[in-house]
Amino acid sequence: MISLGTTRVCVIIIVRAIYICKSLEAMDLPPRLRFKLDKLKSYLRSAVAEKEPSYDTSHRMCPACRALIDRGAGKCPHCGASLKAPRAREGTAPGRVMGGLIPVPSTATSALVAANIALFGISLYLTQEAGSAGSSGSEFAGISRIVLVRLGAVYRPFVQDGEWWRLVTAVFLHGGLIHIGFNLWCLFDLGPTVESLFTTQKFIFLYLATGVAGFFLTYEMGTGLTIGASGAILGLIGVLIGASFHHGRLGKDYRGQLWKWVIYIAIIGLIPGMGIDNYAHAGGLVSGIVLGYAIPEGEPDTRAEDNLWSAVAVFCVIIIAGSFALMALQLNRPLQ
């Protein structure tokens, strides 16, 4: 156990180190050395404040000299390079409501939350309509299984018949209030973080890709009816884990916290009778780790790369819209 005197000495040393860093800031240092100095100062401050490690979304890296600068800067103060304003970043930092309990999402995260709520409302309405007609069938935690199959749940026989669009639509379906409530709570918390770290365009791709990867693994393993955004949620956790490998000691500490959540979710998934699709969780998590490690964080360095990611995001939206269009075409088809 560390004594109080030792703790005070450590704090004094760290405070002195921060003071030295501030003194060095006044010197004309090379951009790379200044960037390392900023990282050291940030780490020392976090050690004194005893805060949990997190990503600093108030700064970005200059694509020309790689120095750390204010996110809203139009010109790098170190090398003089002109910078475009950060697109799709304003408002992506989550605000807080209910005393800081719930983060307020924005942009693509808000759209995903709205889509999930809308589909749940439709599912609930159709379930009630089917119940009044006396043909609700068995329920999936509150929502009729027949309704979920019609709305695009992953059902192996239909996917085998070529209805691959179900791997997309199932990401937006939920079986009950607890199911959607837990998933949206996680999306509220994780979405703004990933979106701020990777940009909105990349976030759209990451969410869709990890969600589809999770359900594809479920399909390959022969699981029956399955729905939910939890595969994509685990995908976002995986993305942050993958990205953390590029952030040294802070990334390691942050990664440790994320792995704890993965372990908790895995334990819950092993409880009999919970009906949790562990294959979708595993597929989303693994694909998220790979993508989070491979895809560069922050805004694209070149206009060509920026245009590419914009095209990818538009393509993902088209895939989602097209999948629901195909779902609508077979909505009233007799089920065999």
**Residue 76 placed within a domain:** no
Task: Give pLDDT, residue 88.
Answer: 42
CA pair distance 153, 335, nearest whole angstrom = 13
3-12, 29-38, 74-83 — which one is most confidently predicted on average?
74-83
Band of residue 287 on the pLDDT scale cut at 50, 70, 90:
very high
Tell whether 103 and 233 lie within a shared domain: yes
In this structure, the answer to whether residues 171 and 278 fall within a common structural domain is yes
Distances (CA, A) of 110 to 104, 145, 190: 9, 27, 12
User: Residue 318 carries which side chain, given as an amino acid letter?
Assistant: I
- The percentage of the chain sitting over the pLDDT mark of 90, rounded to a whole number, equals 40
Per-residue pLDDT reduced to its tens digit, 240-249: 999 999 888 8
Same domain for 125 and 41: no
Q: Around 241, how many Cα atoms within 13 Å sit in the side-chain half-sphere?
A: 20
Looking at the structure, do residues 110 and 224 belong to the same domain, yes or no? yes
Specify the amino acid at residue 167: L
Residue 253 scores a pLDDT above 80: yes
Per the domain annotation, does 335 fall within a domain? Answer: no
Closest CA to 107 of 233, 40, 217, 191: 191
Domain count, the chain: 2
* CB-count exposure of residue 220 (10 Å: 0-12, 13-18, 19+): exposed
In this structure, the answer to whether residues 230 and 312 fall within a common structural domain is: yes
CA count, 13 A, side-chain hemisphere, 19: 6
Q: What is the mean pLDDT of residues 158-178?
A: 93
36 and 134, same structural domain? no
| Residue 28 falls inside a structural domain | yes
Instruction: Identify whether residues 112 and 30 lie together within a single domain.
Output: no
- Tokens 């914009």 map to which residue? 310
> In this predicted model, what pLDDT tens digit does every residue of 199-221 receive, in sequence order?
999 999 999 999 999 999 999 99
CATH of residue 323's domain is 1.20.1540.10
Q: Do residues 25 and 114 share a domain?
A: no
Inside any domain, residue 77: no
For the cut 70, the answer to whether the pLDDT of residue 187 exceeds it is yes
Residue 254 — pLDDT band, cuts 50, 70, 90?
confident
Q: Is residue 78 domain-resident?
A: no
Among 70, 104, 125, give the residue marking a domain's end: 70
Whether residue 161 is contained in a domain is answered as: yes
148 & 253 share domain: yes
Question: 161 and 101, same structural domain?
Answer: yes
258 in a structural domain: yes
CB 184, CB 230: distance < 8 Å: no
Provide mean pLDDT across the span 142-168: 91
Q: Please say which residue of 70, 85, 108 terminates a domain.
A: 70
Report CA Rg, the chain: 23
C-alpha dihedral sign at 121, 125, 126, 127: positive
Residue 266 falls inside a structural domain: yes
214 and 157 co-located in one domain: yes
* 101 & 158 share domain: yes
Lowest average pLDDT, out of 95-104, 258-267, 307-316, goes to 95-104
Least confident of 141-150, 158-167, 227-236, 306-315: 141-150
Domain end call among 70, 105, 120:
70
Domain that holds residue 45: 4-70
